[in-house]
Structure 1
Amino acid sequence: MLQSDSGAAAKIPRPVPLRESVFEALLELIVSGQLRPGQHLVENELAELLGVSRQPVREALQLLSGEGWVDLHPGQGAFVHSPSVEEADQLLAVRALLETESARLAARHADEDGVAALRRLCARGASAAHSEDTDTAVTANSELHALITALSGNKVLAELAAQVARRVRWYHTPVARQRGLTSWQEHEDLIDAIADGNEEMAAQIMREHTEHTRLSYLEQRKNQPEEPAPQPIRRRRMRTAPGS
């Protein structure tokens, strides 16, 4: 048996399973809004779109269902999850708590390079918002908030924030146009507070900023009816002829 002086041998990297690649591709389509809440997900159509067989698509849909991105209904198939108002409100409230603390700690720990990176992201996002390039604005927003969390220096906080980041991006996309340049002015004020090392001001601005986003989302959903779950298809049984 082969042995090495350093103990256990290094493991050989293996290719990512196809189902995980399909999972990531479908999740990006959901988060970006190309697959809309409530949309029916047909396996053969998705397989053709991604250039794969139906099996990894089926496995990916099971994974997405386990993480709450897809709803599986017996007799109907798979549908993009339609978040309830309460579900969205709870997630955005948790996001506010995490990011308020991130901003406070970023004001304590951020260096000049970190602040400069924040200003570049802010400028890119504001320019996209001004030209109504929603996709770029949403991406820049996500990157800016992620960088603030990274600058906090708290790894546990960063891990928790990362767990909700994609879903927050999903909820933020519909209100990005509505918030427009106002959101980016709030970002500029936040970055100024971080640059000044003003922890309390940074926390207050972030708290108000995330609350504005939460309220904008809830306002947009106010007049939208809740999507009912698809009803299973009831198959009629064939009647047998008398005496058969």
Structure 2
Amino acid sequence: MTTAEPLGAVRERVLAALRQDIIAGRLRPGDRLVERELAERFEVSRVPVREAVRALVAEGFVLFETPRRAVVRRLTVTDVDELFELREALEVYAAGRAAERAGRDGLAGLAEVLERAAEATRTRDAERITDLNTLFHDRVLAMAGNSLLISVMEPVGGRLRWLTRRNEQWPKLLAEHRALYEAIASGDPARARASALAHVHANHRATVRELFGEGGADGEDG
């Protein structure tokens, strides 16, 4: 006899799939999330779909235009600026701490991520590049050795991944990550912080250009 999948597990499966669809651009800003259609797609009841959509609202990916109409959120320049301000504050600090605490194993793991990212960049595998870039920053946070820092970043991690997916200057991103790796490996916290700051600023500018054009014209929610 087959054991039914627990409701919580169904919800998490649907949530993960929808989140990835948004990050990868398969669901675009303004697209509607219709419970009936999603329930049919995932072959589940509407209950886990409804819960997954509410979770996406809490994570900042989706909003309710009306009580019964959920759509993928359109980010504004202010949204982007605020997320990058948070990223700057936390990731620059993390890079400095990582430089102070980096051990041989941590650096080897970071270098291995860069090798995989280089291969993904050569093949222009967008989703894999995004996954590996996220993993690179996760490893830097782990090397900083501050569990509270990781817990603060976790709630906005998905939205940051969504934003950075819009930046397709992949060779430049790889070069910036290599520079950050070298700075951390040097053991010089000031150098690591400066490298992280330059990387965040460059990514911020590229993301704003991609989303809003050279003028950075603000979008509207809804």
The answer to whether TM tops 0.5 is yes
Task: Pick 1 or 2: higher relative contact order, CA cutoff 8 A, min separation 6.
Answer: 2
Aligned to 1:133: 125
Q: Aligned pair 1:22/2:42, yes or no?
A: no
Match for 1:68 among 60, 66, 72?
A: 60
Q: Secondary structure at the match of 1:38?
A: coil
User: Mind listing any 5+ residue stretches in structure 2 that lack a counterpart?
Assistant: none
RMSD in angstroms over aligned alpha carbons? 2.0
**Aligned to 1:78, what secondary structure does the other structure show?**
strand
Query: Are 1:200 and 2:193 counterparts?
Result: no
Aligned to 1:219, the other structure's residue is in SS state helix
Other structure's SS at 1:37 match = coil
CA contact (8 A) 2:212 2:219 kept: no
Answer yes or no: is the 8 Å Cα contact 1:40–1:78 preserved in 2.
yes
Instruction: Please show how residues 1-244 of structure 1 align to structure 2 within 5 Å.
Output: 15=6, 17=8, 18-74=10-66, 77-175=69-167, 177=168, 179-223=169-213, 226-227=219-220, 229=222
Decide whether the 8 Å contact of 1:19 with 1:56 is kept in 2: yes
Q: Deviations over 1:16-65 (max 9, x none)?
A: 62334433332222223221121111112111221211222123222322
Structure 1: distance between partners of 2:219 and 2:138: 31
Q: Which moved more, 1:56-65 or 1:202-211?
A: 56-65
Check conservation: 1:95, 1:164, Cα contact below 8 A. no
Q: CA deviation at 1:119?
A: 0.7
**Aligned AA for 1:182?**
K
The one-letter code sitting in structure 2 at the alignment partner of 1:161 is: M
Seen in structure 2, the aligned counterparts of structure 1 residues 166 and 67 have a Cα distance that, compared at 3 Å, is closer
Q: Which has the higher helix share?
A: 2
TM-score, length basis structure 1? 0.81
Aligned-residue sequence identity (percent) comes to: 33
| Contact 1:93–1:214, Cα closer than 8 Å, also in 2 | no
Name the larger-Rg structure: 1
Moved segments of 4+, more than 6 Å: none
* Alignment CA distance shift 1:63-1:222 (3 Å): closer
* Distance (Å, rounded) in 2 between the aligned partners of 1:41 and 1:218: 26
- Cα distance change of structure 1 residues 34 and 208 upon mapping to structure 2, 3 Å threshold: same
Alignment length (residue pairs): 214
What is the deviation of 1:184?
Answer: 1.0
Q: 1:123 offset after TM fit, Å?
A: 1.4
**What is the deviation of 1:78?**
1.1
8 Å CA contact 2:15–2:56 kept in 1: the answer is yes
8 Å CA contact 1:71–1:80 kept in 2: the answer is: yes
- Displacement after TM superposition at 1:171 (Å): 0.3
C-alpha offsets along residues 177-226 of structure 1, whole Å, 9 cap, x if unaligned?
Answer: 2x221111121121112112111101100000011000101112333773
Flag structure 1 segments of 5+ consecutive residues without an equivalent: 1-13, 230-244
Shift of 1:107: 0.4
Q: What is the SS of the residue equivalent to 1:29?
A: helix
TM-score, normalised on structure 2? 0.88
